[in-house]
Amino acid sequence: MLRNYFKIAWRNLWKKKIYTSINILGLGIGMACCLLIAIYVQDELSYDKYHTNTNRIYRVVHAETYGEDLKNTAPPAPGEFAVWGNAPVGPALRADFPEVEEVVQFSGRADILLRYGDKNFQEEGIFFADAAVFDLFSWKFIAGNPKTALEDPYSIVLPESTAKKYFGEENPIGKTLEGSSAPGRANAGNYRVTGVIEDIPENSHFNFPALLSMNTFRKSREDIFDMWGYVDFYTYLLVSENFSIEAFEKKIPDFITRRRGISPDSKYTIALEPLSDVYLKSEAGRQPGDTGSLPNIYIFSLIGLFILAIACINFMNLSTARSLERAREVGIRKTVGAARKNLIFQFLSESVLIVTFAAFLALFFVFIALPFVADLTEKNFRSVDLFNWQSALVYLCIIFGLGLLSGIYPAMVLSGFKPALILKGISNTHTKGAALRKGLVIFQFSLSIILIIGTCIVFTQMGYLLDKDLGFDREQMLVIDYNYDGRVNNKIETLKNTFNHLPEISSVAAARTVPGSYFPNAGTTIESQEGTMALNVPAIYEVDVDFIHHFDLELAAGRAYSRDFPVDTIQSLVINEATARLYGYSNPGDIIGKRFQQWGREGKVIGVVKDFNYLSLHQNIEPLTLRLAPSECRYLTLKVTTSDLPAAIARIKDVWTHAVPHRPFLYKFLDEDFNRQYQADFRFRKLFTIFSCLAIFIACLGLFGLASYTAEQRTKEIGIRKVLGASVTNVVMLLSKDFIKLVVIAIVIASPLAWYAMTRWLEDFAYRIELQWWMFTLAGIAAITIALLTVSGQSIKAATTNPVKSLRTE
């Protein structure tokens, strides 16, 4: 019997090649998309799960509120916490809470120039770490002793790839790397290699090219390890098996009061984040590495389900539409004694067979597409990861599950035919099935239209991010990174003058940071309108005298730094408008001349620049102070005016190599570097667009199949209408209008759902577009156009068929 079922199934599939191809291709693409999305989502969800004690590791996050009425201040929101915090909190937690078994702290990220022989590289994102770091984190040692590797000052542990970069196949243990200073953390010195570990897995919330011993940092700045107000540390805890985070959080207020005391100027608190949550769920600022987006995970998961649902709907629609062709077969089988359960099993077997073919096709698609998706997502996906017994088991379950899900309704419909009526040529199943098919078409096109609208809005928002006026000049700004090198800062004016004499350069400025890069915060006291000194902690840019004019920052009040006022270097401060508002001045001019204190400097506010977006447009403009400190700079920024950039870069490199031979020429363009903040957003746009197009394509496949079947069933009617004088246009409209009505209904259903979903997505951006009616209208027109193009091909073919032939063959 089973052999007979599969033989009949194979004959039916082979007989109707077009419908079989549509079903298998649609299901294959749908399953491939789901598999690719599942691989991506699984990778995102796997971050930091490779550690042995993942469930027992927590990260400390810090929040500090400033103001007058601190007692009545609301608890900080998750987004007001920062991962970056003070050093004393770690040992204090270890001492006061027996459930805290171990504390590990990192400091960084530091960028250090390392040399070995004639090889030198500026390594970015090096961390200083406690010696116990390998007790918490499961980073596997290749060489060295994990217990002692980071005990001594100036010891360094390298990942395998970094070790090979400097030492090749040599044994690096005991060898020395010459290192530059780590500003604010350690002086230059020789670092002895004490360990080599396997490269950090990509699914880690932070990565590093090397780890330096925390005692290196401690040796140069012992005092800050006892300062609750100095922030430069990331603190991780290993807790006991029976740890309760709820019970722990209740003890935090007493702990803060006991250890740090009560401050009249600020209110400080901490919270814990489970390690397994820090990549996708943390909203805290100052992250040590990249973070993911849980909403994007939900969106991609929904898209995967949408695509699979659309593919399954195609199968159900075409199966029920063709049910009348199998009616006589069912009638004969029932007449000779076949039970309904046997017929259901038969048709489900056919469904599983189709899904099996589609599954193999999906695997082929995945194998072809995986390298492209890996490149697009910047992840290391491998085809070999798909072929293991766990994946095979899951895939088999999916095949049978989809086969049953897609085939159950067609099987119930076909097996329910009454043999007496069917053999007489009477059936009322056509009208019942038609209503369901229309509902399913509306449903799948509603999903497709939601994706069309979403794609339109995503593209518009990304274009807005790129085109928005940020309030500063970022075009053709070449940024040279010399990493705070004192020898460069000592001759910075000479360098600037040399570059200014190049015809390709119109202006030059130096700064500790540039928009889009790292910056610290500084405790800053400014005189309030009442005459009292108010403390806040705005961001700080340390700049040279030319920075404001070089970046074309507009002044809202006062003046910029000037060489005409030498006293600016010791007693002047420029701020932005957001800082003026922070201290209670709605009119920027009112803060000019007010007293300030910041990092040991006292003087008066001399200028207020208009707010500019030095942060990503995901964030509002935050308070910022611009402190004149040319000796603290890291970057040299050159405004390039020529269109021949390669030639200009070559000349700039020649000047740099001659003037600063000990520093590599490391450069970037500011606009490209600033836009890297949106790298995840652009990646999301590409993935969203690709999968949306595939979903629409699958929906069109189903519509094409239904249009073909409808035209085939109405061949005789079309022939009669043409004999009676109907034009090709009349026939095309006749066959198309029913489908267009369904698409219009889908537009009405999809538009409010898309509006709600995309409004929520846009909430992640502080600066965002407003949803406009034309976006939904454009998506609706696109959907109707796509449907018309899909249906009209078959409609035109039917309309242009010779009526004599169609009437004779019918």
pLDDT digits (tens, 9 = 90+) for 171-184: 999 999 998 877 76
Q: Which residue has the higher pLDDT, 205 or 220?
A: 205
Rounded to whole angstroms, how far apart are CA atoms 153 and 558? 48
Residues 6+ apart with CB under 8 A from 450: 306, 750, 753, 754, 757
Which tokens is 357 given? 């073919």
Confidence of residue 19 (pLDDT cuts 50, 70, 90): confident
Can you tell me the mean pLDDT for 218-225?
A: 88
**Average pLDDT across the chain, whole number:** 86
Closest CA to 711 of 802, 810, 796: 796
* Termini Cα distance of the chain: 35
pLDDT for the residue 417? 58
Give how far the C-alpha of residue 112 lies from the chain's centroid of Cα atoms, to the nearest Å.
28
pLDDT for the residue 78? 87
CB of 735 within 8 A of CB of 52? Answer: no
pLDDT for the residue 387? 65
- Does residue 99 surpass a pLDDT of 90? yes
- Does residue 432 surpass a pLDDT of 60? no
My answer on whether omega of the bond before 651 falls inside 30° of 0, hence cis, is no
- Does residue 323 surpass a pLDDT of 90? no
pLDDT for the residue 810? 44
pLDDT for the residue 440? 79
Can you tell me the mean pLDDT for 540-563?
A: 96
Can you tell me the mean pLDDT for 410-437?
A: 59
- Is beta strand 176-179 parallel, antiparallel or unpaired with respect to 189-197? antiparallel
Q: 294-321 and 340-377 are packed helices; what angle lies between their axes, rounded to 10 degrees?
A: 140
CB of 516 within 8 A of CB of 673? Answer: yes
Confidence of residue 423 (pLDDT cuts 50, 70, 90): low
DSSP one-letter code for 676: G
The residues pairing with 328 across neighbouring beta strands, listed in sequence order, are none
pLDDT for the residue 340? 67
- Does residue 221 surpass a pLDDT of 90? no
Cα–Cα separations (whole angstroms), residue 301 to 24, 35, 367, 390, 641:
22, 11, 20, 21, 46
The residues pairing with 609 across neighbouring beta strands, listed in sequence order, are 555, 576
Share of the chain above pLDDT 90, in %: 49
pLDDT for the residue 767? 92
pLDDT for the residue 714? 66
Collapsing DSSP states into helix, strand and coil, what is residue 229? coil
Q: Which of 16-25, 264-273, 417-426, 635-644 has the lowest mean pLDDT?
A: 417-426
Which tokens is 335 given? 């007449």
Neighbours of 374 (CB within 10 A): 18
Residues 6+ apart with CB under 8 A from 288: 83, 106, 108, 109, 127, 205, 206, 234
Collapsing DSSP states into helix, strand and coil, what is residue 239? strand
Rounded to whole angstroms, how far apart are CA atoms 163 and 166? 6
pLDDT for the residue 23? 80
Which tokens is 753 given? 């759902």
pTM: 0.84
Confidence of residue 264 (pLDDT cuts 50, 70, 90): confident
Can you tell me the mean pLDDT for 104-130?
A: 91
- Does residue 170 surpass a pLDDT of 80? yes
pLDDT for the residue 805? 61
pLDDT digits (tens, 9 = 90+) for 599-610: 999 999 999 999
Which phi and psi (to 5°) does residue 475 adopt? -80, 130
Q: Which residue has the higher pLDDT, 60 or 398?
A: 60
Report angle CA 667, 672, 676 to the nearest 5 degrees. Answer: 110
Rounded to whole angstroms, how far apart are CA atoms 696 and 452? 8
Confidence of residue 793 (pLDDT cuts 50, 70, 90): low
- Is beta strand 155-159 parallel, antiparallel or unpaired with respect to 189-197? parallel
Rounded to whole angstroms, how far apart are CA atoms 574 and 549? 13
> At 543, which amino acid appears?
V
**CA gyration radius, the chain:** 34
pLDDT digits (tens, 9 = 90+) for 765-791: 899 999 988 889 988 898 888 888 877
Which tokens is 262 given? 């009560």
pLDDT for the residue 700? 82
Q: Which of 24-38, 145-159, 348-362, 415-429 has the lowest mean pLDDT?
A: 415-429
Rounded to whole angstroms, how far apart are CA atoms 420 and 675? 71
Q: What is the 3-state secondary structure (H, E, C) of 459-523?
A: HHHHHHHHHCCCCCCCCCEEEEECCCCHHHHHCHHHHHHHHHCCCCEEEEEEECCCCCCCCCECC
pLDDT digits (tens, 9 = 90+) for 554-608: 999 999 999 999 999 999 999 999 999 999 999 999 999 999 999 999 999 999 9
Q: Which of 252-266, 479-493, 535-549, 617-631 has the lowest mean pLDDT?
A: 252-266
Q: Which residue has the higher pLDDT, 657 or 418?
A: 657
- Does residue 809 surpass a pLDDT of 60? no
Closest CA to 580 of 548, 557, 612: 557
pLDDT for the residue 433? 57
pLDDT digits (tens, 9 = 90+) for 623-636: 999 999 999 999 99
